[in-house]
C-alpha cells in the first residue's frame, strides 16, 4: 500500500472525517483510532500516525491506499481545504484545495509514475 500524508495547523478529527466519508461509502468496522472503506478490491485506511513519544499526532493523518481511483475520490471528499497540506509521497506536496483542483483538472493523473 502507498501512503498520503495530510497535515494541518489544527487537529484533524477522525469522527468528522468519518461523517464526511459515510455520505459516500459504507465505513468498515474498525477500531476507533482508524477509518476504513472498501470498494471493488480497493481499500483506504485513515489514521493518525504515532509521534516519537508513542502518542498519536492529531494534526496529521496517514491515508493508506491500494488503488488511485478510490483514493482520488476520497481526497476530493476530505481534503478540499487550503489549510491542509497533502504530501503524496511521490514528490508532490500541495495545499488541499490545489491538490483537489489538480485531480479535477486531470482525472487521469497518476502521481505514482515518475514521468
For 89-114, write each residue's pLDDT tens digit.
888 899 999 999 999 999 998 888 75
Report the predicted TM-score, pTM, of the whole model to 2 decimal places.
0.91
How confident is residue 67, by pLDDT bands cut at 50, 70 and 90? confident
Residue 17 in domain: yes
d(CA 110, CA 2): 13
Which backbone phi and psi does 8 adopt, to 5 degrees? -145, 160
Percent of the chain at pLDDT exceeding 90: 73
Provide the number of structural domains found in the chain: 1
d(CA 43, CA 35): 10
CB atoms within 10 A of CB 70: 19
Dihedral class, residue 70 (left if φ above 0, else alpha if ψ from -120 to 50, else beta):
alpha
- Domain enclosing residue 83, as ranges: 2-105
Residue 111 in domain: no
Task: Kindly state the average pLDDT of the residues 20-42.
Answer: 93
Amino acid at each position: 500500500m502507498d501512503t498520503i500524508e495530510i497535515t494541518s495547523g489544527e487537529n484533524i478529527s477522525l469522527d468528522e472525517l468519518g461523517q464526511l466519508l459515510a455520505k459516500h461509502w459504507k465505513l468498515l468496522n474498525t477500531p476507533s483510532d482508524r477509518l476504513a472503506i472498501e470498494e471493488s478490491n480497493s481499500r483506504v485506511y485513515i489514521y493518525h500516525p504515532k509521534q516519537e513519544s508513542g502518542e498519536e499526532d492529531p494534526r496529521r493523518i496517514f491515508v493508506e491506499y491500494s488503488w488511485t481511483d478510490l483514493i482520488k475520490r476520497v481526497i476530493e471528499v476530505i481534503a478540499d481545504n487550503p489549510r491542509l497540506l497533502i504530501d503524496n509521497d511521490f514528490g508532490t506536496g500541495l495545499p488541499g484545495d490545489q491538490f483537489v483542483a489538480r485531480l479535477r483538472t486531470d482525472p487521469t493523473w497518476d502521481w505514482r509514475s515518475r514521468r
